[in-house]
Structure 1
Amino acid sequence: METSQSPASENPLQQQQQYQEDEDEDHLLKANGKVQTNGKSGRGTSTGSGTSMPPATFMKLKTYLLALRPWSLSASLVPTLLGSALAYRSQWSAEFSLVTFFLTAFTVVTVHCAGNVVNTYFDFIKGIDKQKADDRTLVDHILTKDEVVSLGAILYLAGCGGFVFLAVLSPAKMEHLALIYFGGLSSSFLYTGGIGFKYIALGDLVILILFGPISVLFAFMSQTGHVDWTTMGYAIPLALNTEAILHSNNTRDAENDQRAGIVTLAILIGRTASHVLYAMLLFTPYSIFFIFGLKYSIWFLLPLITLPQAFQIEKRFRNDYTMHLVPRQTAKLNFFFGILYIVACCCAQQLPTFVWRKH
């Protein structure tokens, strides 16, 4: 929930909030083809130094890029990297292919982007995204509804094209890859479209499964051609951290969502319990890594470097004035947290519980 406060009571966190709002406003002006010159706005004008605005096509591409919510893509990219790293450490490492890796990452990320666009469209159509919404794509008419629909269709087609090439090159069976891929694609659409899992308090469960165990298994299977369910155990810390992104977003938007007539987990359990759940989702992975570090390899203590940042974000979650910053900051934490976890998996001599060795 966003609330204004008098200048006299500003603190560093509020100054950061104001800076973020000014930056978002600047992005919006640029997205609409406007530029500020000496306090006056104009369209297609040049700055005093004689430099001209970028071409309209460049600005349009930028608005499309922002509509994809690039800050959220760590939720799908990091599990893909983890699954690929586990494949590289497995007994089938000789089959590891960089081409397959890039195709897998492309396929997963494009479907994630398409899901974000679908989310934008249906949240706007159902009246959930209004003037105080974090996603400004349709609220501020940065893109039209037809443009958003077209963008989503293009992304799904691109993802399917990537999947076709992946299926040809991967040693995995076509039916196994297709089951996971089209299951993930369907879930990305049904999250807000069709059934609308998000609107009936099932969105958290979908995200927990999709952007964790399923993504890791898909990446592992694409490289090795084998279905090994034990790889899903490695995804638990990432899945919890990714769910923290969604839960913070739903907690921030709880009042607007309730007025729109939808139900999320954050609405069902209330503000206090939501804070407890967020803290559990945020800090449980660190407890897991601490145990792994003591039992298996000191490398698994590496993600604990991000622990101070996690405490800062948790503090902002409890403050109504800084709550709106939390989802993006949690996503940023998720990226660095995940990368350090992947480095640990690559460098540790012994992996936790599940170790693949050639016989």
Structure 2
Amino acid sequence: MATSRSECEQQQEAGATSTATVTTSAGQLLRQRLVNGGSGHESSPTTSTSQSNGKAAAATSLIVGNNTNSSGTFMKLKTYLLALRPWSLSASLMPTLLGSALAYRSQWSADFSMVTFFLTAFTVVTVHCAGNVVNTYFDFIKGIDKQKADDRTLVDHILTKDEVVSLGAILYLAGCGGFVLLAVLSPAKMEHLALIYFGGLSSSFLYTGGIGFKYIALGDLVILILFGPMSVLFAFMAQTGHVDWTTIGYAIPLALNTEAILHSNNTRDAESDGKAGIVTLAILIGRTASHVLYAMMLFTPYSLFFIFGLKYSLWFLLPLITLPQAFQIEKRFRNEQTMHAVPKQTAKLNFFFGILYIVACCCAQQLPTFVWRKH
């Protein structure tokens, strides 16, 4: 019985093998005919193999070419994105969010529009990006950005000068397009919005282009106004259609924190900037005074929030969560070996600091009042 059972299994295996062989042969014949264009005649094995190899090589070449093109396009887009210095965009985005939050808490909150909000953010951020690109171009042209520069876009020939100019022009045009749509939808008067918008746009260009405020120790003042009161007022007015000068008071903490980003950058580059023949506030006051000024701009907003928290609402104590991080950054700023990364770290702090401040403004039952009263 064992022998007959074994013979039976051998016969089954042989039958399965022959079936698989027939199936494989049929599959090869079908593929061969498909390669021959579906014709009824058969080609020689050599011809069939060469045709198959040729088509396989062509398909492989096409796939590799597509992957290379996709990878090249992705890398180019990534290069353009890095040229915008995305780490610095919190400087313009936070004041815009704050102005919008104040509009939401105002007596005109019923007219708040998300479309207007996104258009405002788009308009402000694109102008900021364009200003960054202009800064990259003129710093390189004037010989300020060299081998040790933080911005590598033109120094390392990642983009050409023509590409940088084209990118800046496209961003300014995009910002103007966003402004036109915003002016149509906003309840604010066209001339009021245009005054602030084109004032900000021209300042972003003149920061390094034309007059070059950065090179004559006026850059700090421009940034303090542009990324503080001006941006907050623009966002508030775009939503409500009204001018409220008390928004300047709310902008002070963000403006000081944003200015700390620029001042840390100028203090780090003071030596190279001096050799290039430009003058910044950090060069004028010296290293020691620059350390003191940076600490004042970094920690003064926390003092204001402590006062707001005790007087108006405990929600304003929320930004104090970032205070330990501020102490760490200030310690790195005092050390020449670690201060190279301080501008980006300060920008990161600015983002979280700003978000918590905006949350506090949205949640607090009572907002601070900035009204001068005569006694």
TM-score interval (norm. to shorter): 0.7 to 0.9
Q: 2:248 aligns with which of 214, 229, 232?
A: 232
1:130 aligns to 2:146 (yes or no): yes
1:192 aligns to 2:212 (yes or no): no
Q: Where do residues 109-128 of structure 1 align in structure 2 (5 Å cutoff)? A: 109-128=125-144
Q: 1:214 aligns with which of 225, 230, 241?
A: 230
Task: Give 1:311's aligned residue.
Answer: 327
Task: Give 2:356's aligned residue.
Answer: 340
Amino acid at match of 2:257: N
Counterpart-to-counterpart distance in 2, 1:228 and 1:189: 27
Q: 1:172 aligns with which of 164, 181, 188?
A: 188
Q: Provide the secondary structure at the position in 2 that maps to 1:136.
A: coil
Task: Give 2:305's aligned residue.
Answer: 289
Amino acid at match of 1:170: S
1:205 aligns to 2:221 (yes or no): yes
Return the offset for 1:54: 5.0
Note the alpha carbon deviations across 1:4-26, whole angstroms, 9 max, x for none: xxxxxxxxxxxxxxxxxxxxxxx
Amino acid at match of 2:216: I
Task: Give 1:81's aligned residue.
Answer: 97
Counterpart-to-counterpart distance in 1, 2:144 and 2:321: 37
Q: Which runs of 5+ in 2 are unaligned?
A: 1-63
Amino acid at match of 2:146: K
Amino acid at match of 1:303: P
1:330 aligns to 2:320 (yes or no): no
Q: Provide the secondary structure at the position in 2 that maps to 1:55.
A: helix
1:249 aligns to 2:265 (yes or no): yes
1:159 aligns to 2:175 (yes or no): yes
| CA pair 53-317 structure 1, distance change in 2 beyond 3 A | farther
Counterpart-to-counterpart distance in 2, 1:232 and 1:263: 28
Return the offset for 1:354: 4.8
Amino acid at match of 1:341: Y
Note the alpha carbon deviations across 1:24-73, whole angstroms, 9 max, x for none: xxxxxxxxxxxxxxxxxxxxxx9xxxx97952111100000000000000
Return the offset for 1:132: 0.2
Counterpart-to-counterpart distance in 2, 1:197 and 1:187: 9
Amino acid at match of 1:231: T
Counterpart-to-counterpart distance in 2, 1:54 and 1:248: 39
Task: Give 1:41's aligned residue.
Answer: none
Counterpart-to-counterpart distance in 1, 2:201 and 2:157: 27
Amino acid at match of 1:171: P
Note the alpha carbon deviations across 1:224-265, whole angstroms, 9 max, x for none: 000111111100000000000000000000000000000000
Counterpart-to-counterpart distance in 1, 2:252 and 2:129: 23
Counterpart-to-counterpart distance in 1, 2:116 and 2:321: 31
Counterpart-to-counterpart distance in 1, 2:262 and 2:308: 26
Counterpart-to-counterpart distance in 1, 2:239 and 2:197: 14
With CA pairs under 8 Å and 6+ residues apart, which has the higher RCO, 1 or 2?
Answer: 1
Counterpart-to-counterpart distance in 2, 1:183 and 1:207: 13
- Please give the TM-score of this superposition, normalised by the length of structure 2: 0.80
CA RMSD after TM alignment: 1.2
Amino acid at match of 1:78: M
Counterpart-to-counterpart distance in 2, 1:58 and 1:171: 40
Return the offset for 1:288: 0.2
Bigger helix share: 2
Q: 1:96 aligns with which of 105, 112, 117?
A: 112
Instruction: Report the structure number with the largest CA radius of gyration.
Output: 2
Amino acid at match of 1:99: V
Counterpart-to-counterpart distance in 2, 1:93 and 1:295: 24
Task: Give 2:281's aligned residue.
Answer: 265
Return the offset for 1:138: 0.1
Task: Give 1:275's aligned residue.
Answer: 291
Task: Give 1:62's aligned residue.
Answer: 78
Return the offset for 1:176: 0.1
- Please give the TM-score of this superposition, normalised by the length of structure 1: 0.84
Identity of aligned residues (%): 92
Amino acid at match of 1:248: S
